[in-house]
Amino acid sequence: MQTKKQNKRLLWWSIPLIAVLGITLYGCPSQQNLAGSSDAAQKVYVAPGEHDEFYGLFSGGYSGQLTTYGLPSGRHLYTIPVFSQAPVSGYGYSEETKPMLQTTHGFIPWDDAHHPELSQTDGVPDGRWVFINANNTPRVARIDLGNFQTAEIIEIPNAAGNHASPFVTVNTEYISAATRFSVPMDENTLENEDVAISSYAENFKGTLSFIKIGEEGEMSIDFQILVPGFNYDLSHAGKGPSEDWAFFTSYNTEEAHTLLEVNASRNDKDFIAAVNWRRAAELVANGEGREIPAEHYRNYIDHDEHRAKSELIETVTVLDPTENPGIIYYLPTPKSPHGVDVDPSGRYIVGGGKLSSVLPVHSFEKMIQAIENEDFEGEVDGIPVLNYDSVIQAEVENAGIGTLHTEFDGNGYAYTTAFISSEIVKWSLETFEVVDRIDTYYSPGHLMIPGGDSRQPAGKYLVALNKITKDRYLPTGPELFHSAQLIDISGDKMELLLDFPTDGEPHYAQGIAADIVKERQVRFYPLEENNHPDAVKSEADTRVVREGNEVHVYMTTIRSHFAPDNIEGIQVGDKVYFHVTNLEQDWDVPHGFAMLGAQNAELLVMPGETRTLTWEPKKVGVFPFYCTDFCSALHQEMQGYVRVSPSGSDVPISYGTGD
């Protein structure tokens, strides 16, 4: 119980606090570098029926999915199910998609997806695929931008917390993966071990993985590089002169295993690891490296059969830098760097010095010079550490507090997010001086300029991906969507154009000119190319077949009925497989399938596709199923019944659509 006196004291204490808050939060809207609001409105106005100029592909963070927005309007176009089950379509519930989420830990229904990265040709996004990492149970997914569906997921063995992933090399030869949380690894097999956590310094290791991308996009882990047990944070491949290299930031070079917020923030400098992936790949191709057992799954859509398959891969090749000198060097970089970004020319490597007062910019040319001169200030576990003063090009002063990530506009400027000072800072790649800054609301993590991490950025818009939303929109209780801000960067001064909420927690994002992706779009799947073994191509072939306790219903949908729509002879204790083929051959005519009492989800079946839902009836009676997607004027009539008899009943299997 508080006394009156205490209350009074509290009140007095709060006055200076209110004054401080008042000053810091003073008149937010009026201080925003907002283009004249009608001007801004015009710039983001995409008339009804018109299309946006860019696709924005935003990671869903803890939603595990990838969300698609139109830019500059901020329209939410679609959410691509990737690492999380999606009852909305049956992804991860249907028999055809369940294998996509298979891992050596079993079926994993969720993950934390951070960094989308478009495939590139000649250092420019080409619109074929977008890759995205799973941070929690280490995996990488490939999404086909022809149909906006996840086409492949590969598990990363010998890793924990796949954060520095999946960044592409200039011709999508490789994408990266890495260990965020180092873990104990057996010296020979790299297998995780049952050891004391306090033996971190002795036993814990990390790996940097290079995933090879085949002609059709198929992924395979070409090699892993064994590295000291730091936390590897982010990555970007080089381009132009640096295109044979990939860069990874690290923190926790202190090798702390508890209270990292303090214990991993002590060193003045951590490292950016520069990996000569070309050389490493050549070594592996020449038989260097050690093949070790490392079971991991590769799950992929068999495009012929329209369904996912899982393949267990037994081994992986490991390169030890101590045995293969010249593949990796450490660039000292101030204070737990977060992002590592390479400018469009490929000459500069920008580290996000999260806890640093300056933004360090390394020179690739100087790095090569230092390597040639063996200008090392030491080594860590056999990895040479280059001399900081020899590789640094500039330290950008006054670049904000808590600098995280940098993107480029292709016109000689870089844009860096500052989390703590909640702003984006524009600086020159010539003078390395700040030329403009703009507040964001609030605390940006990543930022995205379409093509902004490629050789050819489209320096028109910038999207700030903010971590804190607070008062930006109508409140929705304690949990708020994250906020994105669209900023016009076409002029000298950055101008805030638009504010929009985003689904999940977007970390990184990618943007690409809409035309490149639009022309690849699939509208429906030709029925004659559907080679799913359980597909039925016409109503005449629909049937119900009992195989012991399993009952297979081969069913079709077309506006506005199911065939068959009356099914009898099912018994309690059966496992019923509804194999539903959508006979439609028309754009945007999916049919849904929902079965009362099914303990999974619905099916949303695209035209020409076959999807399978299982149902294990628990009760006797007659139960309806129906179409969940408002397909036609007679959608409400699109329904059917299943009669469930007691176990052992003599009601025979029968089915049909009447006479």
Partner 1 sequence: MKKTGKYIMAIAALLLGFVFITPIWTIDMEAPQYPEGIGMEISINKIEGKSKQDLQNINGLNHYIGMKPITPESIPELKIMPWIFGFLIVSGLGIAVWGNRTALLFWIILFILLAIAGLVDFYLWGYDYGHNLDPNAAIKIPGMTYQPPLIGSKQLLNINATSLPGFGFYVSLLSMGLATYVYWRSKPDTK
Q: Summarize as ranges the residues that interact with partner 1 (CB under 8 A).
A: 524, 558-559, 584-586, 632-634, 637
What is the token pair recorded at 439? Answer: 């507040």
Q: Which is nearer to partner 1, 391 or 558 (CB)?
A: 558
Q: How far, in Å, CA of 527 to CA of 605, rounded?
A: 13
Residue 59 contacts residue 114 (beta carbons within 8 Å): yes
Q: How far is the CB of 555 from partner 1 (least distance, A)?
A: 18
Q: How far is the CB of 516 from partner 1 (least distance, A)?
A: 21
CA 418 vs. chain centroid, Å, equals 22
Nearest Cα residue to 233 out of 326, 321, 354: 354
Strand spans (E) along 559-635: 561-563, 566-571, 575-582, 591-595, 603-605, 610-615, 621-626
- Shortest distance, position 594 Cβ to partner 1, whole Å: 22
Whichever of 112 and 584 has its CB closer to partner 1, that residue is 584
Is 416 or 556 the residue whose CB approaches partner 1 more closely? 556
Distance from C-alpha of 359 to C-alpha of 428, rounded to nearest angstrom: 12
Residue placing its CB nearer to partner 1 in the complex, 268 or 586: 586
Nearest to 558, CA basis, from 658, 622, 629: 629
- In angstroms, give the least distance from the CB of 395 to partner 1: 55
- Alpha-carbon gap, residue 86 to 83, rounded angstroms: 9
Complex with partner 1: residue 234 or 627, whichever CB lies closer: 627
Is-contact 275 253, C-beta < 8 A? Answer: no
DSSP per-residue letters across 518-567: HTT---S--GGG---TT---SGGG-EEEEETTEEEEEEEEETTEEES-EE
Q: Which is nearer to partner 1, 47 or 474 (CB)?
A: 47
CB atoms < 10 A from the CB of 522, how many?
A: 14
Rounded to a whole number of angstroms, the minimum distance from the CB of residue 544 to partner 1 is: 25
Closest CA to 301 of 168, 149, 146: 149
Q: How far is the CB of 306 from partner 1 (least distance, A)?
A: 18
Kindly tell me the sign of the dihedral angle through the C-alpha atoms of 430, 433, 438, 442. Answer: positive
Cβ neighbors of 390 (< 8 A, separation 6 or more) are 366, 369, 370, 373, 375
Instruction: Mark 434-463 as b/e (b = at least 16 C-beta within 10 Å).
Output: bebbbbbbbbbbbbbbbbbbbbebbbbbbb
Strands 174-178 and 204-213: antiparallel
How far apart CA 279 and CA 265 sit, in angstroms, is 33
CB nearer to partner 1: pick between 293 and 526: 526
Give the residue with the Cβ less far from partner 1, 428 or 632: 632
Output the smallest distance, CB 590 to partner 1, in A: 14
**Shortest gap between Cβ of 630 and partner 1 (angstroms)?**
12
Q: Quote the least distance from Cβ 581 to partner 1, whole Å.
A: 15
Separation of alpha carbons 564 and 641, rounded Å: 9
Q: How far is the CB of 632 from partner 1 (least distance, A)?
A: 8
Residue nearer to partner 1 on the CB measure, 584 or 602: 584
Measure the CA–CA gap between 91 and 101, rounded to whole angstroms: 10
Amino acid at 204: F
Q: Supply the minimum distance, in Å, between the C-beta of residue 608 and partner 1.
A: 10
Our CB check for partner 1 shows the closer of 230 and 524 to be 524
- In sequence order, the 6+-apart residues with CB closer than 8 A to the CB of 91 are 81, 85, 97, 100, 150
Residue 628 CB, nearest distance to partner 1 (Å)?
19
| Closer residue to partner 1 (CB): 100 or 536 | 536
**What is the pairing mode between strands 376-380 and 495-502?**
unpaired
Q: Does residue 512 contact residue 125 with C-beta atoms inside 8 Å?
A: yes
Select 456 or 585, whichever has its Cβ closest to partner 1.
Answer: 585
Nearer to partner 1, 614 or 632 (CB): 632
Q: How far apart are CA 519 and CA 146, in angstroms?
A: 8
Considering the complex, state which of residue 540 and residue 633 has its C-beta at the smaller distance from partner 1: 633
Q: How far is the CB of 524 from partner 1 (least distance, A)?
A: 8
Give which of 425, 443, 514 is closest to 485, Cα–Cα.
Answer: 443
What is the closest distance, in whole angstroms, from the C-beta atom of residue 449 to partner 1 in the complex? 33
Peptide bond connecting 560 to the previous residue in cis, omega within 30 degrees of 0? yes
